[in-house]
Amino acid sequence: MLTAKNGDFVKVHYTGKYPDGTVFDTSENREPLEFSLGQGQMIAGFEKAILGMEVGQQKTVNLGPEEAYGPLNPEMVFTMNRQELPDHIDAQPGLPLQAHTDSGQVVQVMVTQVQGEIITLDANHPLAGKDLVFDIQLVEITPAADAQNKPLLFD
């Protein structure tokens, strides 16, 4: 039986949730997720879980932050004065924003706290520092040799 290995192009259905069962993402009612194994396109623990799976196989994996989106980096949490934001932005906790670095790179940040004129922003991935659970079903494997002929897909 064919098993998934690095270089193979795979299609999977998945549900990502927190240990308490709260779902944060799923491919349910959508097309399966497609990617090439071993290329770093997905978080390490997710790819590792798929290695060796057969088509139709299902499994549940528990991932710590080190296998998922990494630990929280305190250097990516910073404060700014409300006056530095454009007037049309009503900064409230939970508001996602885009910021630009000095080099012009776009960075996703989240308002985490507002205290008077001081706003705290967090540029960590929203799932950084969290334990995650993934229910995975392998739908299809295209072997590495055949995967080279697949067109690239971009969202």
CATH number, domain 9-69+127-147, options 1.10.10.60, 3.10.50.40, 3.40.190.10, 3.40.50.1100? 3.10.50.40
Predicted local distance difference test score (pLDDT) of residue 12: 98
| Model pLDDT for residues 29-87, shown as the tens digit of each residue | 999 999 999 999 999 999 999 999 999 999 999 999 999 999 999 999 999 999 999 99
d(CA 153, CA 33): 11
Indicate the domain borders of the chain.
9-69+127-147, 74-122
Kindly give the pairing relationship between strand 33-36 and strand 9-17: antiparallel
Domain 74-122 has CATH 2.40.10.330: yes
d(CA 66, CA 131): 9
DSSP 84: G
| Model pLDDT for residues 79-137, shown as the tens digit of each residue | 999 999 999 999 999 999 998 888 989 999 999 999 999 999 999 999 999 999 999 99
Contact indicator for 15, 28 with CB cutoff of 8 Å: yes
Same fold, 9-69+127-147 and 74-122: no
